[in-house]
Structure formats: structure tokens, C-alpha cells
Amino acid sequence: MIRVEILEPTRAALRPFVMLPFSLFADDPNWVPMLIGAQLNMLSAPQDDPRRFFLVYDDEKPVARVMAGINQKLNEKLGEKCGYISLFECAQRPDYARAALDAACTYLREMGMEKVMGPCAPNQDDLTKGLLIQGYEGPPVMLNAYNPPYYVEYFEKCGFRKHRDHFAYYMRMDEFDLRKVEEIVPRAKQRFGFRVEHVRFTKENEGKLLRDITRVIQEAFPPEWELSVPTYEDIAKEFKLLRRYYRPEMTVIAYAGNRPIGFVAAFPDYNQVLKKMKGRLLPIGWLKYLFGKNKINGCRCNMQFVVPEYQLKGVNTAMFYEAFTGAQRIGIKWVEGSTVDETNVASINNTEKAGSHLYRIYRQYEKEL
């Protein structure tokens, strides 16, 4: 018999929720398990916004899961009553999917929401979006979604329709001719009076750098993005989660005098290491991490911002050049640029002009409640 259980947001109660994908995808060569402890810590941490965890059972066996939440700040920005879903996973039976998604929609409707959107990241950030609908070959790049194709069918059978697509682009670094930009960069810097520095955090400068990064993102934040404009506290929290993955060679910030005007961050594809760790640091997962992290040969560029006054003045090109050559120095052979909202025509054009090609598409869905 199929039943749905509501879980308390504690480490102990959420453990079967976190462990479900390990039973669903143990034999899937493309699935990359996230660290169990890190997931439990993140999901059990206190939250200001309401959310609820649902686990679907068939008799006593967990078979599907989903989280439903409400981003109150984003609803205020958009003037909407919209909930979101996250962390959907399901065995290959449509009735399991319907039980999970119906439970999430019922909860959001009872909370006064008029629409649901997703899948999103649990904290509805810009790192993990949608269902994979194209490009199932190979494992996902760090922090991007992965799912079997039947998830798309299940969402659509449950009444969800397309909201927006988000694109991932791939480029082999040895196929890019750096001579295209080497002459442009020094001229742009001189003409428009800016410089580019690698971001190297220390105890002394961490606060200043995070404030500079926050300022750039806030000033450059596209109004059409369906995300809340991040505060300093949001950026600091995100940085705390990502710091272990950051490399200064691929993280750069641009300044005009003392004013921060641009920021680019790319992260090594730690999925190459996480896949071998099987979700655990102990007993030997930490050794696999230490020995594997310097052998990573790909990266994901997922943050690129320039304040409006300095757009189309070579700042993006100069930051790209510094991050690109820095990545080369640490052995990176390919880069994924992701994800790019389908409505962001300028970024799509710039990415394709740089020689990248579209190779994966992630779709967010919506449904009226």
C-alpha cells in the first residue's frame, strides 16, 4: 500500500529521505552521490521560510520523496503566491510520483499558494535548477541536477507544464584560441580604467571581499531573474558552503579604482571525486578526496556578473581571460558554463561566440494550484 509520511526536519528523521537515491540509483553509472552528512546538516538547519519534507512508502519501502517550500522574499518581489518543490526523486512507477507531487501541492495550497514551480535547489539558489531533459550522456557537473528521463514524463502526467529552460554549454579549452582576447584585454583595461585580480581569501580580507562580491551581484542582478537579490548574509552563507570547492586561480574580481565592477567564479568539477567517495567521508572517503581533488580536469563556471555601467567595455573578456589561464595552470581541460536562462539572450550569444556549444538543457515546471 502506498502512503506518504511527513518528516520532521531533524537529522535522524531525514536520514531515509537523504538515503533514498542511494537505493534508486546505485547501479546508474551517471549518478553522483552527495555527501550524506553535508546533506543532513543542510536540510536540518533552521529556516525562516516554511517548508515540508515528504517521503512516499510502498508498504515499508521508501520509493519517492519531495520537499515543498515557500520563498517569502521572492514572492514579495514578484507579487506572487508561489511555492516551490525540490529534491524530487522517485522509483520508476508513476503512482509513486503522483503521491509525492500531490502531497507537495496539497501542502502549498493549504499554505495559501496559488502556483507551484520547480524543481529548484532546496534554498532556491541559482546552482541547481530543473529536470534534465536533454544531455543524459555522462555524469552531471558539480551541483547540477541529474535524473533519469522518466521524471519528465511523470511531471507532465501530473499536470506540470514548462516554465523555463536553462542551458548548459561545454567547451574544450584546447579548442579556444586565446589570441582572440590577448590583444583586447590590455587595451580595454587602459581605455576604461579597470583591473582584474584573483580572489584570494584570508582571515583579514574575507569580509571585505564578500562585501565587494555582494555589491557587484546586487548592482548587476538581472531584474528578469526569478530569484531574490542576495544580501551580504546570503552571499556569506553560500560562500561557507562552497569554500571547500573554490580555487583562486578561477575566481576573479574586477575593480575600477576602489569600486568592484565585475566578478567571475568557476569551480572544479568535484563530482569527479564525489562519485568515488560514495557519499561518505569515513572510513576512507577523505583520502579519496585528498588524492583526487588535484586530478580534476574540468570545471563549472556558474557566476559571471558585470555592473551595468561597465558592460560592453571588455570587463567580461578580461575576467574570462584571467580565469581561463588560471584554470589552465591547474590542469583544467574543459569548462561547462551553466546554467543560462533561456531568456538571457545576451549571455547565450556571448557564450556561443566564445566557442561553447549547448549540450544539456534543464527544465523548470509550473502548475496552477
Whole-number pLDDT of residue 163: 96
Average pLDDT over residues 249-275: 95
Whole-number pLDDT of residue 176: 87
pLDDT digits (tens, 9 = 90+) for 39-56: 999 999 988 899 999 999
pLDDT digits (tens, 9 = 90+) for 226-245: 778 888 998 888 887 788 88
Confidence of residue 350 (pLDDT cuts 50, 70, 90): confident
The secondary structure element, H or E, covering residue 65 is: strand 61-70
Average pLDDT over residues 154-172: 96
Tell me the H-state helices in the chain.
11-24, 36-44, 72-78, 94-110, 150-157, 179-182, 184-192, 206-220, 232-242, 271-277, 285-292, 315-329, 345-353
Whole-number pLDDT of residue 180: 80
CATH homologous superfamily for 172-368?
Answer: Gcn5-related N-acetyltransferase (GNAT) (3.40.630.30)
Average pLDDT over residues 294-301: 93
Indicate the pairing of strand 334-341 with strand 298-306: parallel
pLDDT above 90: residue 112: yes
Q: Do domains 2-125 and 172-368 have the same CATH topology?
A: yes
Whole-number pLDDT of residue 344: 84
- What are the beta bridge partners of residue 84? 69, 117
Whole-number pLDDT of residue 237: 83
Average pLDDT over residues 68-80: 91
Domain chopping of the chain, boundaries: 2-125, 172-368
pLDDT above 90: residue 117: yes
If you search the block for the grid coordinates 533519469, which residue do you land on?
Answer: 148
State if pTM tops 0.85: yes
- Sorted by sequence, the CB contacts under 8 Å of residue 32 that are 6+ apart come out as 139, 140, 146, 271, 274, 275
61 versus 175: the higher-pLDDT residue is: 61
Q: Which CATH number fits domain 2-125: 3.40.50.1820, 3.40.630.30, 2.160.10.10, 3.40.710.10?
A: 3.40.630.30
